[in-house]
């Protein structure tokens, strides 16, 4: 019998470089929510892939960003930095050659890693000048000793077979930490809240960029096997509530319908979803409120 392997892999990068899309493709199913808006991911999410004797545990992190004035921003950066502790491999994602100060912030962090770091250049399908890749990679390699470099398109699943093969080789021998049919350490309640938040960000990203949070108040199955889920959506101002509810409740209904469909796919179950909207001013800078939502900035780090 072949020896078991188990590897912890952190996926890091600034906001909106495609970390969640990459994780979903590496797992072969949707786990992390995605949108075109930066900072869609707020939590560390573990994704588990078990193929025969190899188990890979991916850590999808919030994008690391500058400007940490609010408690929620500090919590997100802390979650991203802590993901680098005790991993066997770090995948550092960047968006083509579009380099920013926030990329510098992440690069400084990964350059201090003692375990292997692979540079993953995402969205290369959108590059007009492919010959820019080599000088860009060489310049970055002078600042950090990368173990490997992979040009990929997470969205189009280009280059992921090679990346996946490499990640598998980096998994050390060791027992599996999760049952082989488990794909995440997160509860169904957590995934339900994230699916509602994804629809809000996708449908109202311009009007309500980061002013919403979702709390699951009820999650129970009735005798007919139907899942009844009640979700409370927090906003910071009355005007935001109006935008979210929409004319005659139309926008909220559209968000609910879209979230319910994804929940039924994720949970393989019929779902009855109820949504409420509540104004709670300043929730994103209220440490106590953040703790109840599963985000803990733990001071000013």
Query: For residue 173, what are the β-bridge partners?
Result: 5
The runs of H, that is alpha helices, within the chain are: 19-27, 71-82, 101-111, 133-141, 160-169, 188-204, 238-245, 250-267, 287-292
DSSP 206-233: TTSSS--EEEEEEEEE-TTS-EEEEEEE
- Please report, to the nearest 10 degrees, the dihedral formed by the alpha carbons of residues 32, 37, 39, 43 taken in order: -20
pLDDT tens, position by position, 78-112: 655 566 677 899 999 999 888 988 898 888 888 88
Q: Decide: 159 and 152 in contact? Cβ < 8 Å.
A: yes
Fold of 5-169: Rossmann fold (3.40.50)
pLDDT, tens digit (0-9, with 9 covering 90-100), for 21-60: 898 888 876 665 554 444 444 456 778 899 999 999 998 7
Q: Tens of pLDDT along 60-83?
A: 776 554 455 555 455 555 655 566
CATH of 188-292, one of 3.40.50.1860, 3.40.710.10, 3.40.1210.10, 3.30.300.20: 3.30.300.20
3-state secondary structure of 158: strand
The DSSP element (H or E) to which 121 belongs, if any, is strand 117-122
Task: Return the domain boundaries, the chain.
Answer: 5-169, 188-292
Determine if the pTM surpasses 0.75.
Answer: no
pLDDT digits (tens, 9 = 90+) for 171-188: 999 999 988 888 887 778
Question: Cα separation of 228 and 221, whole Å?
Answer: 6
């Amino acid at each position: 019998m072949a020896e078991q392997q188990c590897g912890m892999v952190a996926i890091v990068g600034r906001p909106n470089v495609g970390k969640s899309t990459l994780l979903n493709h590496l797992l072969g199913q949707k786990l992390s929510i995605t949108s075109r808006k930066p900072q869609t991911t707020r939590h560390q999410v573990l994704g588990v892939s078990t193929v025969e004797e190899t188990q890979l545990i991916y850590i999808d992190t919030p994008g690391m960003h500058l400007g940490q004035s609010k408690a929620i921003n500090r919590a997100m950066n802390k979650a991203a930095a802590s993901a680098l502790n005790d991993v066997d491999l770090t995948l550092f994602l960047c968006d083509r050659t579009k380099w920013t100060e926030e990329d510098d912030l992440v690069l400084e962090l990964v350059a201090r890693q003692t375990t292997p770091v692979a540079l993953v250049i995402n969205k290369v399908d959108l590059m007009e000048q492919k010959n820019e890749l080599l000088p860009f990679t060489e310049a970055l390699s002078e600042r950090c000793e990368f173990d490997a470099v992979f040009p990929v398109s997470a969205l189009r699943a280009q280059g992921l077979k090679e990346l996946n093969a490499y990640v598998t080789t980096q998994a050390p021998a060791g027992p599996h930490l999760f049952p082989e049919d488990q794909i995440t350490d997160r509860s169904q309640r957590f995934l339900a809240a994230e699916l509602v938040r994804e629809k809000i960000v996708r449908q109202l990203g311009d009007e309500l960029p980061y002013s919403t949070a979702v709390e699951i108040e009820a999650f129970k199955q009735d005798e007919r096997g139907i899942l009844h889920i009640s979700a409370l959506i927090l906003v910071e101002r009355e005007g935001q509530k109006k935008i979210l509810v929409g004319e005659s409740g139309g926008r909220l209904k559209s968000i609910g319908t879209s979230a319910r469909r994804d929940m039924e796919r994720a949970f393989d179950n019929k779902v009855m979803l109820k949504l409420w909207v509540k104004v709670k001013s300043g929730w994103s800078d209220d440490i106590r409120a953040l703790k109840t939502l599963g985000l803990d900035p733990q001071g000013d780090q």
